[in-house]
Structure 1
Amino acid sequence: MSSKTLDSIISSFGQSVSKKLASPAISGAPEDQLRAPLESLILDGIVELLGFSKHAVVMIGETSLAESFTRPDYAVTCGKALTGFIEIKAPGKGADPRRFQGHDKEQWSRLKSLPNLLYTDGMSFSLWRDGELHGTILRLEGDLEKDGKAMKAPGELLGLFSNFLTWTPQAPKSPRRLAEVSARLCRLLRDEVSEQLDRGTLALTGLADDWRKLLFPQADNAQFADG
């Protein structure tokens, strides 16, 4: 029988993050130092405490692109089905995207279209569904940067992760609701297409060229993405 507890895995997580943040050899973005510890926290700790089989949950990390506004840091699958996304912020930024400014605010304006999104800065955790806060924003006890080993978690943290990992799509129950859901996801897709065109992604630039030759010769990238 496993001896793991919520406090023990949070302590290990905090200790791992503290070491990374304190290392003089680290020159990357602070949020990048949370990636490996967060994966271990979820896959080697939370998943087991919630009773999932060892390989049931998979975290698929996105490549870090400074100019990318749309993609969250992780897509998460449970039982081989996509269940949600995780966005990591630098320690100290918090997990309330409604308070963000600049790049983070613009990113949130797009990511809030997602139906199951978890935000964390390593200290705080929050769950968002279609841009609305689900439950409350939870914060760990302690100091992540100075003494991560002593950190503790509120008991509700397991429930937050359980809600995140067990989410299932809800079919719209009215034409209006269907239109609202479709519009949000279409905006997200449009923005992703625009970003890929700006980067010169060959698959999309080639498609855009063919689209113009066959249908709308005068259409610019924005019109193509919208179409």
Structure 2
Amino acid sequence: MRKVVSEALGNRPARLVQIINETEPQKEFARYGFRSFDRQFLIADARVISDPRPKIWNAWGKDQVYLTAPMDLAPSIGPALTMTALPPDKHHYSGRGGHVFALWKDAAATDPNISPTVLTQLAKTYGAPVDPVDVFAYVAALLAHPAYVERFRDDLIQPGLRVPLTADAALFAEAAKLGREVIWLHTFGDRFAGGHPAGAPRVATNPPTVPKGGAIPSTPDGFPDSLDYDAAARRLKVGTGHIDNVAPEVWAYEVSGKNVLRQWFSYRRKDRERPLIGDKRKPSPLGDLQPEHWLPEYTSELINVLNVLTLLVELEPKQADLLKRVIDGPLIPASRLGGGVR
């Protein structure tokens, strides 16, 4: 409260005033990647953030992508890593630890966070220069789906994700293209949207929809406190409201033991005393400051999440097949590489 904090968050200048003596109204709010597929808002002021990590904020820009993954324990189920276009929370991946890898070291996206040795070796192998973005997308294609975790479960007992690098130029190009699609979905359409309609991704046929009579009440009395699923009707039940065309795989979607929909809802339900967070600390009194009813933007964002998860589930067979072909084909030995994403 009395400490002077000089850390700036990106282009937001630091307020060199003790927070206890602050007299100016707070005007700086920012969206950030709170958890995988969960975008929230925070006060963009290092004085009120326990671990602001200015290096991450300073590297954020319109072309930045952050990859988050567990490096001190093995992923248990679901994708081995996830992506966000927003500055990520320390526990973004699954609510417990994790590591952040940025595509670019700078906000202008001119300095790639890929080892030059890797880029040089790949260029020699494929006979042409390699775009750092394609390396990042390749990793997303091979690791951001459940088949990677299942295939390497025994190897992943020793923490740390390892990426099989194909020596086949055509297969690398195929993976990079697919990986851009994966990142487009993980970032809710904010990155690599070329060829797609503007805005958040949408399922083309039978998308998740709030049908007539299924609206989630926006009154205090109707504030939803339960989330359930009707498999026969393919219906997500949110309090007394519901959303149709939700596949069982979407309802069950997990990131290393954390069900995405249940965790997302736990921060927006009426009773938030015990959200599905990674630790067991007593909830902060700040948690009592919340809307008195379900907000329309909650429904809009939930529809966004359901569309993204639906499209990711549809991509999983392609990713699994690609991973198999990479593993079965010629690989570049790790001894030729001096490092990867840093």
TM-score by length of 2: 0.21
TM-score by length of 1: 0.29
Going by fraction, where is helix more abundant, 1 or 2? 1
